[in-house]
A and B are shown apart, each in its own frame.
Chain A
Amino acid sequence: MFGLNQKDTRLFLIVAAMTLLAPFILNPFPEGTAMAQMFNAGYPDLMQRFVIFGILVIGFNILFGLTGYLSFGHAAFLGVGSYAAVWMFKLVGMNVVPAILLSMVVAGLFALLIGYVSLRRSGIYFSILTLAFAQMSYNLAYSVLGNPASNFNLTNGETGLQLLLDDPRVLGESVTADGSIPVTNFFGIAMRDSFNLEIGGWLFTFNAGYYLAGIIMLISFYISIRIFRSPFGMMLRAVKSNQQRMNYTGLSSRPYTLAAFVISGIYAGLAGGLLSSMDPLAGAERMHWTASGEIVIMAILGGVGTLIGPILGAGFNEYFKNILSKINDEVLHQWLSFMPDGLENAFVGVLHFFVGKGWHLSLGLLFMMVIIFLPGGLVEGGQRLARLFRRRRPSDDDSQKSAQSTPAE
């Protein structure tokens, strides 16, 4: 179906179903309960982040997963895309389509420039070059190009680029009838419009912005599958495997790597444009090197070079970041109230460092555990689980194999 083989079609349909049904899947607990407060993730903001970062990491994986070139400056493209989109909202109008298109074009051109220079080197030197470019971009956005007092204020410095009442918006209106800034929309459908469905105690939110981003993510995912299965994708894997053989086979590896770099830059620009479409505010911190590092972490968490890995990695990272930062000492006391007071306080004292503002610590430990026990990322975890279940089935051939590999069971 759609030019994909059976296995890929199944994968795509699973991802499509999960994306479209996410408001149900992510809200398993009835509204108002303690569990819902803690573990439900089905609200628009977070769901949008799931799919937008999914797009970002899918694109990153086309570069890193296929060619093995580790870009440590991908957040620069995310940031450039964000700024481009906000400028579109300021100058042209509040429709997200032109904004997203401009984000992709600008990020693509920026990637062409950075890639052209950085791809002269490979390995660690390439990573350092991309990191240097990204930090340069960050500093330019933070100070040089963002001085509110100058005539050329492209990024508005540390405040971040935001919409104002006196922006021109030539194809729309500067100010709405009630005197406020108009909202971002997709041909009239406001991105923040939501439809709430109440079933029993449960509340499910269907947000227009989420569905737009979700459908764009599905398209991005589909294109990434096609690239993985194409001759171009095979050449990219050849780059990773043996560049010397590639060059002596009559293939020029540079344009292949550059094309992959630009494609992944466009994906990142698209993600940046979508972030701005959901919340029209772009700040320099989106380009900071820690943001680039997070992209790498998400890719590795999910499983580098796999199709579904990027989506899993992005989802895992955002979900746990969200939950862990919501837990505070009060919640901990509630959870541990069954313990004697002294013990409870001791436990809360220790756990305090891992939750709330200390969420980095827990996420770091989770990341370490994945790297050590599942070097192939969450995808490898999934494969191991699947194998485990297959083994349980009473098939004589399989049971023999399992007896050999895991005698302890």
Chain B
Amino acid sequence: MGILEVKNVNKRFGGLQALGDVNLSVAENTVHAIIGPNGAGKSTLLNCLIGKLIPDTGSVLFDGESVLGRKPFEICQMGISRVFQTPEIFGELSVLENMMIPIFAKRDGAFRMQALSSTAGERDVLEQAEHMLESLNMADKRHMHSAAMSRGDKRRLEIGMCLSQNPRLLLLDEPTAGMARADTNNTIDLLKQIKDERDITIAIIEHDMHVVFSLAERITVLAQGSPLVEDTPEKIKGHPKVREAYLGETA
């Protein structure tokens, strides 16, 4: 059984069947990509995984536990981290503060009132944050206003913030959308490095085939709300059904 099990998930918006009988199993410590043409239901599926949407029927199990009906912060505390399409960071805070917040969240849980202790006195959190920034090669930017960074750096920071919590599953929603080629390659390298260094499962939704085929170990192709095929990248590349539905024009 995989770490993430999606079973018979259906989701309907009025007359539109956004997801029809989706079954998906993401094996532990793999990189699993979900691809598909526009409107295939990728984002709807992702939103069902992180508590933003609740499917009409079916179940979503993370490590044997249902995530349905849980709030985003509870799902995160279970060990699922999410990276957004446009980098979501704390733009008004410094890079170092950005990195400290998830570490506090990991240590203290969803809410803890520490109104009179000094942030500067939190040595262990500071150290962890500094360490994380160093491993991202961002230590020199620690006092920078994070909103002032390039998109690639913001993405790097966001991924680092997710990793600082040691999640078991990292969900990436088109992590290189709208990025320059150099930034895209940097992000691919970062994700490869993460995969090599950690025991972590990565599920990635992506348009860019370059990214998909450089990272993924398994690929699920969604079309019109249902999984078409699931296989290794090599097999997917040559699969006639996939060519027909999706790669036909581009590959």
Q: Which of B113, B118, B158 contacts A229 (CB 8 A)?
A: B118
Contacts A249-B161, A251-B111 hold; do A235 and B104 have CB atoms under 8 A apart?
yes
Contact B88 A245 (CB under 8 A): yes
A238 near B90 with CB under 8 A, answer yes
Given known contacts A229-B119, A230-B119, A235-B104, is B97 in contact with A247 (CB within 8 Å)?
A: no
User: Which A residues touch B106, using CB under 8 A?
Assistant: 250
Q: Is the CB of B115 within 8 A of A232?
A: yes
Determine if A247 and B71 form an interchain contact, defined as CB atoms under 8 angstroms apart. yes
Is B71 touching A245 in the complex (CB atoms < 8 A)? no
Smallest Cβ distance from A158 to chain B, in angstroms? 39
Whether, in the assembled complex, B81 has its beta carbon less than 8 Å from a beta carbon of chain A, the answer is yes
In the bound complex, residues from chain A placing their C-beta under 8 Å from that of B109 are 250
Stretch at the interface among A84-92, A252-260, A340-348, A383-391: A252-260
A-side contacts of B4, CB under 8 Å? none
State whether A248 and B120 are in contact (beta carbons under 8 Å apart), knowing that A230-B115, A238-B93, A242-B88 are contacts in the complex. no
CA of A226 to CA of B118 in the docked complex: distance in angstroms?
7
Residue interface mask B81-106, A partner, CB < 8 A = 1: 11010001111110001001110111
Q: Given the interface contacts A223-B116, A229-B118, does A248 sit within 8 Å of B82 by beta carbon?
A: yes
Tell me, rounded to whole Å, the shortest Cβ–Cβ distance linking B186 to chain A: 21
Q: Is B77 among interface residues, defined by CB-CB distance under 8 A?
A: yes
Most buried by B among A232, A241, A250, A251: A250
- Interface pair B97/A244, CB less than 8 Å apart: no
Choose one: A226, A242, A244, A251; the contact of B110 (CB below 8 Å). Answer: A251
Q: Within the complex, which residue of B88, B92, B113, B165 is in contact with A259, where a contact is CB–CB below 8 Å?
A: B113
List the B side residues contacting A238 at CB < 8 Å: 90, 93, 101
Residues on the B chain within 8 Å of A232, using CB: 113-115
Q: Is the CB of A233 within 8 A of B115?
A: yes
Instruction: Provide the residues of chain B in CB contact with A244, threshold 8 Å.
Output: 84, 88
Which residues of B115-158 are within 8 A (CB) of A? 115-120, 122, 125, 158
A252 lies within 8 A of B110 (CB): yes
Contact code string A370-394 (vs B, CB < 8 Å = 1, else 0): 0000000000000000000000000
A255 near B119 with CB under 8 A, answer: no
Let me know if A234 and B165 touch, CB within 8 A: no
Interface residues on B, range: 35 or more
A305 to chain B: closest residue by CB: B92
Which listed residue (B105, B118, B122) contacts A249, Cβ 8 A? B105
Provide the bound-state CA to CA distance between A233 and B101, in Å.
Answer: 11
Shortest A242–chain B CB gap in Å is 5
A242 to chain B: which residues have CB within 8 Å? 88-91
CB of A74 within 8 A of chain B? no
Q: Given A234-B101, A242-B91, A250-B165, do A227 and B116 touch, yes or no (CB 8 Å)?
A: yes
Q: A49 within 8 Å of B by Cβ? A: no
- Decide if B6 is an interface residue (CB 8 Å cutoff): no
Which has the most chain B C-beta neighbours within 10 Å: A227, A237, A238, A249? A249
Q: A229-B119, A232-B113, A259-B113 are in contact. Are A248 and B101 (CB under 8 A)?
A: no
- Contact B50 A231, beta carbon cutoff 8 Å: no
Tell me how far the C-beta of A137 lies from the nearest C-beta in chain B, rounded to whole angstroms.
27
Contacts of A223 in B (CB 8 A): 116
A248 touches B72 (CB 8 A): yes
Expressed in whole angstroms, the minimum distance between the Cβ of A306 and any Cβ of chain B is 14
* Contact for A241 among B90, B111, B112, B116, CB less than 8 A: B90
Partner of B71, one of A240, A252, A256, A263: A252
B34 contacts chain A at the CB level, 8 A cutoff? no
Does A32 have its Cβ within 8 Å of any Cβ on chain B?
no
Given contacts A249-B105, A251-B73, A252-B110, contact A241 B92 (CB under 8 A): yes
Q: Which of B19-76 contact A (CB under 8 A)?
A: 50, 71-73, 76
CB distance from B155 to the nearest CB of A (A): 13
Q: How far is the CA of A238 from the CA of B91 in the complex (A)?
A: 9
Tell me which residues across on chain B come within 8 A of A250, comparing CB atoms.
Answer: 73, 76-77, 102, 105-106, 109-110, 165
CB distance from A277 to the nearest CB of B (A): 26
B78: shortest Cβ distance to chain A, in Å? 9
User: Could you tell me if B89 and A251 are in contact, using CB atoms closer than 8 angstroms?
Assistant: no
With CB as the reference atom, state the residue of chain A lying closest to B82. A248
| Candidates A230, A248, A252; contact of B114 at CB < 8 Å | A230
In the complex, the answer to whether A226 meets B105 with C-beta atoms within 8 Å is no
Q: Which of A210-241 contact B (CB under 8 A)?
A: 223, 226-227, 229-235, 237-238, 240-241
Per the bound structure, the CA–CA distance linking A242 and B72 in Å amounts to 14
Given that A226-B118, A249-B165, A250-B165 are known contacts, is A234 also in contact with B97, CB under 8 Å in the complex?
yes
Q: Does A5 contact B (CB under 8 A)?
A: yes
A3 near B: Cβ within 8 Å? yes
**Shortest beta-carbon distance, B35 to chain A, in Å?**
23
Contact pick for B119, options A234, A240, A245, CB 8 Å: A234
Contact (A231, B114) CB under 8 Å given A248-B82, A250-B105, A252-B71:
yes
Chain A 126-148, CB within 8 Å of chain B: the 1/0 string? 00000000000000000000000
Q: Told that A5-B120, A248-B88 touch, could you supply 5 new A-B pairs with CB distance under 8 A?
A: A226-B115, A230-B116, A248-B73, A248-B84, A252-B71
List, sorted by A's number, 6 A–B pairs whose CB atoms are closer than 8 Å.
A232-B115, A237-B90, A237-B92, A241-B93, A244-B84, A256-B111
B interface, CB within 8 angstroms of A? 50, 71-73, 76-77, 81-82, 84, 88-93, 97, 100-102, 104-106, 108-120, 122, 125, 158, 161, 165
- Footprint of B on A, CB under 8 Å? 3, 5, 223, 226-227, 229-235, 237-238, 240-242, 244-252, 255-256, 259, 263
